[in-house]
Amino acid sequence: MTRIFAMLASVAIMGLSLTVGRAAEAPVPPRINFIATPASQLHLGMAADEVIRVMGGAAKETDFELDSIQIRKLEFTGAIPGQLILSDGKLSRVTLDPFRMQEAALPSFIRQAWPGFASSAVRRALGDPAVVLRHSFFGIEVDQWIYSRAGGTDASVFFRSDRVIGRSAGRDVPADLFRVDLPLLADSESPISAPRPGTTAHDIEETYGAPRYRVDYLRNGQPASREVYEIAKTGSFVGFTFVDGVIIELEDLGRMPDDPSFQGL
């Protein structure tokens, strides 16, 4: 009987070690960097040739048709990776990735763990991790799920408050896990001629008034919001995503249905 209890205790200790984890080299403390990027020159409605003049050649391009509209998706690398959508030759969406979640070096299977996903969604997409580690950095609790695939490929998904904040190849904790890179607006216009990545929420409200729809949330500990504004002179709508009060995404939403639920009323 004593031998059985000793064996069970050994198993329990082993399981606990997987949950609590091992000592890991601490990443760089949380910080926000403002980085100059050509994307801060982009605005909705720009022609395709002007977009290419500003951004240069895309790392990846995808073309398709949607509801009789020719869609061109351009993906760019650089200081702040980004994705652009051109609809019938006009820029209709700009999305920057201040958390650098689309690293090319990632194993393809781990990319299903999308930024902001809850752990339950990651488990549905990837299954149970081989190892679960828990870290504490600068008073921030971080869970690390390590997945292994045939051929010895390991990859990690990192959670903060049960939401995906990072992914990496291998088992090491990325040094820049808490880093946020926001676009720096090269010049200041008052009033703004057109919203661009780097424009502040204050400038947007001064130009368009109060948002018609707004959702606040956190991304890797940073305040973020998704807001929809009406352009009074055209009756159309634009959507912005802000991180720490700075635009990282802008989208032409066109005219929206008259149903108040679509307009945030």
**In DSSP terms, which residues pair with 222 in a beta bridge?**
219
Q: Which of 4-18, 21-35, 229-243 has the highest mean pLDDT?
A: 229-243
Largest CA distance in the chain: 82
Q: In angstroms, rounded to a whole number, what is the distance separating the alpha carbons of residues 98 and 32?
A: 9
Lowest mean pLDDT among 13-17, 20-24, 130-134: 13-17
pLDDT at residue 11 greater than cutoff 80: no
Return the pLDDT at 44: 95
Return the pLDDT at 111: 82
Give the closest residue to 249 by CA, choosing from 39, 8, 24: 39
Share of the chain above pLDDT 70, in %: 83
| pTM for the model | 0.78
What are the distances in angstroms from CA 41 to CA 54, 72, 73, 196, 224?
7, 19, 18, 7, 22
Q: In angstroms, rounded to a whole number, what is the distance separating the alpha carbons of residues 118 and 103?
A: 20
Q: In angstroms, rounded to a whole number, what is the distance separating the alpha carbons of residues 82 and 184?
A: 14
Domains and CATH numbers, the chain: 2-31+101-175 (3.30.1450.10), 37-99+180-262 (no CATH)
User: pLDDT tens for residues 212-222?
Assistant: 999 998 888 88
**In DSSP terms, which residues pair with 94 in a beta bridge?**
84, 250
Q: In angstroms, rounded to a whole number, what is the distance separating the alpha carbons of residues 22 and 25?
A: 10
User: pLDDT tens for residues 106-147?
Assistant: 888 888 888 888 999 999 999 999 999 999 999 999 999 999
Mean pLDDT for 22-49 is 89
Give the closest residue to 100 by CA, choosing from 5, 202, 174: 174
Share of the chain above pLDDT 90, in %: 57
Return the pLDDT at 89: 94
